[in-house]
Amino acid sequence: MPNNDKEEEIKNSTTQKNADSEKAHNISYAQKMRDRIAEVEYIKKGKEEEKTKTPLSGTFRQKSVVKKATDSRSLAKKALPYSKSKGVGFASHLDNLKRYKIKRELKIQNYRKFQKYFNRFEIKYQISLKERDKIISTISPFMKLDPFVQNYFDYEVRSLYFDSNFRHALLEKKDGVGIRRKLRIRYYPDYNRDNRDFAFIEIKKKINENVAKSRVYVELEKVLYILDNNHPEAKDFYKNASTQDKNTLKEIWFLYKRYNLKPACIVSYKRQPFLSKVEKTFRLTFDTNVMVRNYNFDLHFGGGSKLIVPRGITIMEVKFNNIIPNWAIKIIQNNDCVQYKISKFAAGLEKTKVLALV
């Protein structure tokens, strides 16, 4: 009997513990559900408040983005308007896409523009007259004489270079400045039109090893007048010029006024030019009798006072866009041509020993 009472007591105790545990579990589960419902209601309430709230910060941010886009030269002139149907965030996203596309397109255009105007290379070599004759005979299957000199074997080139009193163009060359420009007047005395002499006012631009030239074709007698943008001849010439020539003239006038340019020296030489029969942009020139003078800047007057390159020596220039043809590389290598970095303008000024006019 006592054993039965003890078993009954243990059984009742176990049942009570199970009931208490189940009750506690139910209470905990109910509490969790209440907490979850409260959390959902709180989030829902927050979203409803966010919908009715005026998006001042977003509008301010949109205006600032539009202002930046308007002020920047590389971005669009007008940003996309505020989108009422899809909100500020969507409009900002479209703005960003629009600006990114425009910026990327401008980068591509600038790179193409750079390639178009600065994809020219010039490599110079110093060779003897015998080596010149040998190379000319070797290139005959691939190249022909420039049509401008078919009646002759060469033509004369005279270039009047300009520089400031402090010789900024010369110093830029000697210091190896990566981006530099030179102003010159190039005259070919062997050629005229309607019994009148013509010349080119040129800006030679160099970005590292890339070369580009922009120039205008004018009567030699009017060259000095056209350099002065306030002269009536310059105004008339600009009025009738093409868009490209107008842009070149603006750059010429800017350099001429900015550095107070003056005639520095005249470099003259005889040139034999050859053109490739296949690659139209590939040229080979041979310059001999390279002379300089720093007086009498009349281009009608030929000759010079000092030789820049010794007699019997030729400057061979290889001019090309992007790449040199394989046959030309082999000819240069077979003749052991040594690259010769020389600027006729800089070497000429150093020969005359007039390095500054101050």
Rounded to the nearest 10°, the torsion over CA 232, 158, 174, 125 is 150
pLDDT: which is higher, 246 or 19? 246
User: Using N-to-C axis directions, what is the helix angle for 87-117 and 56-71, rounded to 10°?
Assistant: 10
Is residue 340 very low, low, confident or very high in pLDDT (cuts 50, 70, 90)? confident
- Flag whether pLDDT at 122 surpasses 70: yes
Cα–Cα distance, 216 to 229 (Å, whole number): 14
Closest CA to 159 of 196, 192, 184, 124: 184
Which range is most confident: 39-43, 55-59, 106-110, 353-357?
A: 39-43
Sign of the dihedral through C-alpha 296, 301, 305, 306: positive
Cα–Cα distance, 183 to 248 (Å, whole number): 11
Residues 6+ apart with CB under 8 A from 264: 161, 162, 163, 167, 169, 170, 294, 345, 349, 354
**What whole-number percentage of the chain has pLDDT above 90?**
46
Half-sphere exposure of 83 (CA within 13 A, CB side): 13
Closest CA to 153 of 125, 190, 127: 190
- Flag whether pLDDT at 64 surpasses 80: no
Residue 48's pLDDT is 61
Is residue 28 very low, low, confident or very high in pLDDT (cuts 50, 70, 90)? low
- Flag whether pLDDT at 118 surpasses 70: no
pLDDT digits (tens, 9 = 90+) for 217-240: 999 999 999 999 999 999 999 999
- Flag whether pLDDT at 264 surpasses 90: yes
Q: What is the mean pLDDT of residues 112-118?
A: 47
Residue 207's pLDDT is 84
Read off φ and ψ for residue 85, nearest 5 degrees: -75, -30
Strand 313-321 and strand 120-128: the pairing is antiparallel
Sign of the dihedral through C-alpha 246, 247, 251, 252: negative
Neighbours of 172 (CB within 10 A): 18
Euclidean distance between the first and final Cα of the chain, in Å?
134
Residue 209's pLDDT is 77
Q: What is the mean pLDDT of residues 52-70?
A: 42
Q: What is the mean pLDDT of residues 296-318?
A: 89
State the chain's maximal CA–CA distance in angstroms. 149
The kind and range of the H/E element at 291 are: strand 283-293
Burial class (CB in 10 A: 0-12, 13-18, 19+), 234: buried
Is residue 24 very low, low, confident or very high in pLDDT (cuts 50, 70, 90)? low
- Flag whether pLDDT at 71 surpasses 70: no
pLDDT digits (tens, 9 = 90+) for 138-188: 999 999 998 888 667 889 999 999 999 999 999 998 888 888 999 999 999
Report field, pTM of the whole predicted structure over 0.85: no
- Flag whether pLDDT at 314 surpasses 90: yes
Q: Which residue has the tokens 């150093």?
A: 350
Cα–Cα distance, 183 to 320 (Å, whole number): 22
Buried b / exposed e over 237-265, threshold 16 CB at 10 Å, is: bbeebeeebeebbeebbebbeebebebbb
Mean pLDDT of the chain: 78
- Flag whether pLDDT at 356 surpasses 70: no
- Flag whether pLDDT at 47 surpasses 80: no
Q: What is the mean pLDDT of residues 236-262?
A: 94
Q: What is the mean pLDDT of residues 288-293?
A: 94
Cα–Cα distance, 106 to 113 (Å, whole number): 10
Residue 253's pLDDT is 96
Distance of CA 77 to the CA centre of its chain: 23
Q: What is the CATH number of domain 121-352?
A: 3.20.100.30
User: In the numeric block, which tokens belong to residue 74?
Assistant: 């590389």
Residues 6+ apart with CB under 8 A from 221: 196, 197
Which range is most confident: 68-77, 84-93, 317-326?
A: 317-326
- Flag whether pLDDT at 82 surpasses 50: no
Cα–Cα distance, 169 to 171 (Å, whole number): 6
Burial class (CB in 10 A: 0-12, 13-18, 19+), 142: middle
Residue 20's pLDDT is 62
Neighbours of 7 (CB within 10 A): 10
